[in-house]
Structure 1
Amino acid sequence: MKRLNVAAIAIVGIFIGWLTLGGSAAVMHYTSSTEFCLSCHSMQIPYEEYQGSIHFSNAKGIRAECSNCHIPTDLMDYVITKFRATKDIYHEFVSGKIDNEDKYEDHRLAMAETVWEQMRQSDSATCRSCHEIGAMDTYEQTEEAAKMHEYGVANNQTCIDCHKGVAHFAPEPELDSEAFSNLMAYSESTDPNAEVVYAISPLSIGELGTINPTTKMLVINANGDERTIRVEGYQMRGAEQVLYINQGQRAIIASLTEQGQQAIAFGEYQADRYGNEWRTASLTGPINAPVLESQQPIWDYAEQLDTVYCSTCHAKIAAHHFTVNAWGPVAKGMGDRTDISALDLELLTKFFQYHAKDVAGH
């Protein structure tokens, strides 16, 4: 009888354990399915975005489900993620936090940043469950993609640093207009007798042309905002309508009218190693606009632009990663993908160019 009792207890225990563990596993598996995710009304917006992504439809016919990207396979991370997800049930049925499109957009950035941080902490483990850097055939990638993957590995970046909008729309970047107002406010403290000043925005230099933002200007004389200044740079033969920051470095600091081209003081042409001919050039004329004594407030503002318009989609790229000449088309190409203003893009581009790897000291 004792043996029968022990056997019965063991069988009951095994049965209960099977129900508990098996049932828990079944529940965990079911609540990880895309169908379960979509049972929440608030998930319709991200689902529609996902349907337009390469993770939903592609030439290989391979589909990544919600769980493939959002639920780690490591046991402890898996359990933590499932526990953390209980808040989604609360917001779906109690708070109604994102139960319509307007609310969803209001919280898009905060939700995205939460997921991005979780993926950084796991070194993008869910991405790496399918994608392995060592298995990539870089010859099948574009030259730009191959370079960025090499850069990411060298700088210890993780997948999500650059692929933030891979399955869902990235938050719309937007910088508060107050930031630019604060930049302009710095001009109020510019010393009227400052011998060197910098342009905040494009400035007319009389009828001679336009000075680009961030350009250094040597003050000849001043009367309030009215100043006579001199801009020094370089001209390239065949492109005399502009002044460049330096020989061989195509960062434009001023654009000249025909009258301005006639007013230039210049040196002798000298050929660079590529056969292009350059000469020193300076232009003196009047300006009447707010200016700064230092470029630093502009660089501080540009770093905010970098955070909002660049690192919303990918990790920040150090300014010294590219040369002056490379930054021009890179910044323009990226800027075309956002709604950044022309002035802000110019300030951001000049920040990169003035800190590029071929500028003295970098």
Structure 2
Amino acid sequence: MKYFKDLWQTLNKPAKYLTLGSISLTAFIMGIIFWGGFNTALEATNTEEFCISCHSMESKPYQELQATVHWSNNSGVRATCPDCHVPHSWGRKIARKMEASSDVWGWLFQTVNTSEKFEDKRLEMASREWARFERDDSLACKNCHNYNSMKWETMSKLAQKQMKSAAERDQSCVDCHKGIAHTLPEMGTARAPQLIAEVGTGPSSFTNEQPYFSALTKPLYFSPTGDVQAGTLNVATKVTVLASEGDRVKVAIDGWRKKVGLGRVIYFDFGINMLTAQLSKEAAKTDGIINGFEEKEDTMTGLKWQRVETELWTDAEYLITEQKPLWDYARTTFRTSCSVCHTQPDEAHFDANTWPGMFQGMIAFVNMDDDTQALVQKYLQQHSSTFVKEAH
């Protein structure tokens, strides 16, 4: 008992029973033990084995990584989970660890323990990681990829132009290279929330024989109450409201169609592949749904076109009174989203039929839902050299 009593007195009042040197040496040794143990535990959580010990990580993102160039390449250099998702500097690493503590709750409550749950959360998780990469200027990428070490002469002319421009601004890599290591989330279900926040959902009542514009891609119906769809009304399309009944309005849609097959697709104008509406096969076969007028032949393609009009029903919401807010939103989106990878072409640089192919090559590198993509493409087509003749 005397031994334990002496030990307690020493620990309780070390300055009374030990010398200053003994206290300092003991504190130093204890500090080394604590710091070594802490760092050992910390580094144990910075391994790929630790990351994929969670089933939801091993079954989805880890499997996706193995199909990319970051897993297997000519140089034999492999990027592991912590290389991209754990900062190298100590301060940022600790902050990231604290932030990642929320993952414990996700594991505990099985937030993404099935494939369905993971896909439902993929966009949210990807957006959070993209925001972190943006905040850090893609430091995790630049730990391996350094602008100053790149061999410009081995790149294609287009890649040189884009990468040199990015190097001048020390641009964040994830601006252009989303989906480089994991599958991109499905963003078409977002239904353009930012767009609707900007332009609104439309009026609560309508004036007959007045024009309105679709703020989203909308279903068309045969009747004011039935569920059978007659086709699709494209975003930013001008319609004339003919009648209102309940939550739907009857609209007149005019344009041109190609005299090929059933001619179900209605375009904005003769010879211009700008979508206005697509009718179902049943609607196209039903007498009286499509009214045809004059016909023309496109001398460039040899196709015959016909001016048409149809009257169908659609939901009353997301029909707005002006087209300008749609074009303003599309212009801003195009100039902010489509200029991060390369020098941005002017809207009138291409004609209306060239823009769709050019734009489709861009959207793989930007974060847009389906409605925003369709709106920006239509904006580019309607402000192309086809309509701005003096530009080209």
Among 104, 107, 120, the residue aligned to 1:89? 104
Q: How far apart, CA to CA, are the structure 1 residues paired with 2:169 and 2:106?
A: 38
Residue among 282, 302, 309 paired with 1:288: 309
- Measured after TM superposition, the shift of residue 135 of structure 1 is 1.9
What letter is aligned with 2:308?
I
Give runs of aligned pairs for residues 237-248 of structure 1, distance below 5 A. Answer: 240-241=299-300
Give the conservation status (yes or no) of the 8 Å contact 1:108–1:171: yes
In structure 2, the CA distance between the partners of 1:349 and 1:138, relative to structure 1 (3 Å rule), is: farther
Q: How does 1:189-200 map onto structure 2 within 5 Å? A: 189=241
Matched-pair contact (CA < 8 Å) for 1:49–1:168: yes
Shift of the 296–348 alpha-carbon distance from structure 1 to 2, 3 Å rule, reads same
SS of 2:71's equivalent in the other structure is coil
Q: Tell me whether 1:323 sits opposite 2:349 in the alignment.
A: yes
SS of corresponding position for 2:188: coil
Structure 2 residue 373 is the aligned partner of structure 1 residue 352: no
Determine whether 1:47 maps to 2:62: yes
Matched AA of 1:48: Q
One-letter amino acid of the structure 2 residue matched with residue 180 of structure 1: T
| Distance in 2, Cα, partners of 1:120 & 1:184 | 32
Residue 213 (str. 1) matches residue 268 (str. 2): yes
Residue identity matched to 1:28 = L
Per the TM alignment, residue 327 of structure 1 is displaced from its structure 2 partner at its CA by 4.0
Partner of 1:164: 178
Q: Distance in 2 between matches of 1:335 and 1:3?
A: 74
Give how far 1:102 is off: 0.7
Cα distance change of structure 1 residues 17 and 87 upon mapping to structure 2, 3 Å threshold = same
Cα distance, 1:104 vs structure 2: 0.4
Count of aligned residue pairs for this structure pair: 297
Please give the alpha-carbon distance, in whole angstroms, between the structure 2 residues aligned to 1:136 and 1:321: 32
TM-score by length of 1: 0.64
Q: CA deviation at 1:37?
A: 0.7
For the residue of structure 2 that corresponds to 1:213, the secondary structure is strand
Counterpart secondary structure, 1:76: helix
User: 1: distance between equivalents of 2:323 and 2:50?
Assistant: 54
Identity of aligned residues (%): 27
Change (3 A) 1:346 1:97: closer
Residues 1:336 and 1:97: Cα distance change in structure 2 (over 3 Å): closer
Q: Which residue of 1 aligns with 2:94?
A: 79
* Residue number among 114, 118, 121 corresponding to 2:128 in the alignment: 114
Query: Partners in 2 of 1:125 and 1:214 — Cα distance?
Result: 48
C-alpha distance after superposition, 1:316-355 (max 9, x if no partner): 98552893167454234457999x9x99977654433445
Which of the residues 65, 70, 73 maps onto 1:58? 73
Cα drift, residue 188 of structure 1: 3.4
Counterpart among 140, 149, 174 of residue 135 in structure 1: 149
Contact 1:319–1:353 (CA<8 Å) still a contact in 2? no
Residues 329/82 of structure 1: CA separation in 2 closer, same or farther (3 Å cut): same
SS at match of 1:108: helix
Alignment of 1:192-341 (within 5 A): 203-204=256-257, 212-213=267-268, 240-241=299-300, 256-257=303-304, 286-289=307-310, 296=324, 299=327, 318=344, 320=346, 323-324=349-350, 327-333=355-361
Alpha-carbon spacing, 1:184–1:143, altered in 2? closer, same or farther (3 Å): closer
Residue 213 of structure 1 aligns to which amino acid in structure 2?
F
Q: Quote the residue 1:222 is aligned against.
A: none
Q: Which residue of 1 aligns with 2:230?
A: none
RMSD: 5.0
* Residues in 2 aligned to 1:200 and 1:77: alpha-carbon distance in whole angstroms: 56
SS of residue paired to 2:308: strand
133-142 or 82-91, which moves further after superposition? 133-142
Which residue of 172, 177, 180 corresponds with 2:217? 180
Gaps of 5+ in 1: 191-198, 218-224, 243-254, 261-284
